Amino acid sequence: MTDLHELTARQLLQGYADRTFSPVEVVGSVLERIEAVQPRVNAFCRIDSEAAMDTARASEERWRRGEPAGLVDGVPVSVKDILLLRGGPTLRGSLTIDPKGQAWDEDAPSVARLREHGAVFTGKTTTPEFGWKGVTDSPVYGITRNPHDPSRTAGGSSGGSAAAVALGAGPMSLGTDGGGSVRIPASFCGVFGLKPTYGRVPLYPASAFGTLAHVGPLTRDAADAALMMDVISAPDWRDWSGLPAMEGDFTSVITGGVAGLRIAYSPSLGGIASVAPDVAAVVRRAADRLAGLGAIVEEADPPIGEDPVEAFHTLWFSGAAKVVEHLAPEQRALLDPGLREICEQGAGYSALEYLGAVDVRMRLGHAMGCFHESYDLLLTPTLPITAFAAGREAPEGAPSPRWTGWTPFTYPFNMTQQPAASVPCGTDGSGLPVGVQLVGARHADALVLRASHALYESGLPL
C-alpha cells in the first residue's frame, strides 16, 4: 500500500472525495515525513505543524459536508521563503533581515490563491540569500542537500522546494525562477518544475530582478502542476505587470497529446553548451519518445547566437545590487560572499550598459518569436550536468566560478519570458536525475504542460 505522503495532489483529492482517507490523516503523514527527512536534506527553514493541522481539520469538515473550498482543499503545500506567507517572517536566507521588523499579515498573490482554495501550508522552504544563485545554501539556513545523494547539491534557488517534493514532504511547492531557479533544482532532484510565461502567475512584492523573475510550481508530475496553475494563475491587482485571466483551464487541455506538434530538438543550443554524455543520451531518448508519440521532431538550434550570459549578468547583478543598496557596511559584511561580489559588480554598471543588456534581451526575444513560427516547442537538456558536490556555487574545475557557467539552457528563457518546464526523464550512471527541458512560445504554457504530461503518460523514466 502506498504511503499517503507519496500520493500526488490529484490522488489525494480523489481519496478525500471517496472518503478513503482524510486531510487530517494526510497532513499528519506529511508532517511525519518532513520530520524524518529534514535532518538529511535541510529542505525547510520553518515548519508550522500546529497551523497545518488546524487547517487540515477545517478541510476535513468541509469534505465531510461535501463542500470543499476549492481545487486543492486539504492538499499539503510548501512555500519558498522568498514569497510572503501570512503568519510568519520571510527571511529570504539573509542575516540582514530582522524578522521583528516585518508585518506578518500578508500573503503573496500565489499563496493567497492557494489559501482561498483550501491548501494546507506546512511551512517555508530554503533558498540561497535573496535567491541569487543556482544552488541552495545561505548564511541563515545552511546547505540544502540532494535527496538522491546528500553529499550533492539540490540545486537552486528553489532547492528546498524541489527536495521537499522529491522526498514526499508534500506533493506541491511554490518556487521562484529568475534564471532557472525552478528548473535547476527540479532537474537535480528528479521532480517536475515549470517556469510559466512572465506575468502568468502574479508576483508581489515586485522582484528587484525585475521581469526576469517568475513564480512557478514544483510538483510530482505535470498534471499536478497544471492543477496548481489553475489556482495560482488568477490575476491579482497588486502585480501591475500580471496577465489577464486566461480562457479555460490548464487541467482540461493537458491530455491532448503531441501528435502533429513541431518540436525542435537542440542538444547544445548550437554549441553554446558542452553536455555530459549520460545527460545527452537521456535527452535523445526523450526526443525519440516524443517522435514515437506522433510529434514531428527535427534537430534544430534556436537562433540564440552567442551565449547571452554577459547581458544576463548585467541584468541579474544590477538587480542584486538594488536588493542590498540600503544596507549599512556592517550589514553587507553579513552577506553571502558570492552575493557581495556580484552586488559590487552590479553597482558598477552604467545606465548605458544596462540598456545595452536590455537591447540584447529584446533581440533574443524577437529571434525566439520568429523561431516559434516554425516550431511549437523546443527540446533541450535542462542542465548539461547532474548534481555536483554540495556547498559549492559551481562544480570543481568549472571554467567559471559563477552559477551561470553551468546553466546555459535556463537563463536565456528568463530573458525572453517564455514558459519552460523541466521533466525528469532518466538518470546518469550514478543514479542521479536528468531533466529534459521543454520551451514554448510566450503564452504557450498549456502546450508545454501538455507535452510534459504526454511524456509522463508514456512512462518515465525513459
Check if 350 is active-site.
no
- Of 301, 294, 321, 284, nearest to 132 (Cα)? 321
User: At CA 274, angle to CA 269 and CA 275, rounded to 5?
Assistant: 90
Task: Tell me whether residue 38 is exposed, middle or buried, using C-beta atoms within 10 angstroms of its C-beta: 0 to 12, 13 to 18, 19 or more.
Answer: middle
- Cα gap 200→186, rounded to integer Å: 20
Catalytic residue among 80, 124, 133, 195: 80
Known catalytic membership, residue 318? no
Q: What are the cell numbers at 340?
A: 557581495
DSSP 64-132: HHT---STTTT-EEEEETTS--TTS---TT-TT--GGGS------HHHHHHHHTT-EEEEEE--SGGG-
State yes or no: is 80 an active-site residue: yes
Given 29, 59, 78, 157, the catalytic residue:
157
User: Does residue 276 contact residue 385 with C-beta atoms inside 8 Å?
Assistant: yes
Alpha-carbon distance of 73 to 86, in angstroms, equals 18
Q: Which of 110, 138, 173, 181 is catalytic?
A: 181
Residue 421's DSSP bridge partners are 194, 438
Instruction: Fill in the DSSP letter of residue 430.
Output: T
Whether residue 210 contacts residue 319, with contact meaning beta carbons closer than 8 Å, is answered with yes
3-state SS assignment for residue 416: coil
Give catalytic residues, as residue numbers: 80, 157, 181
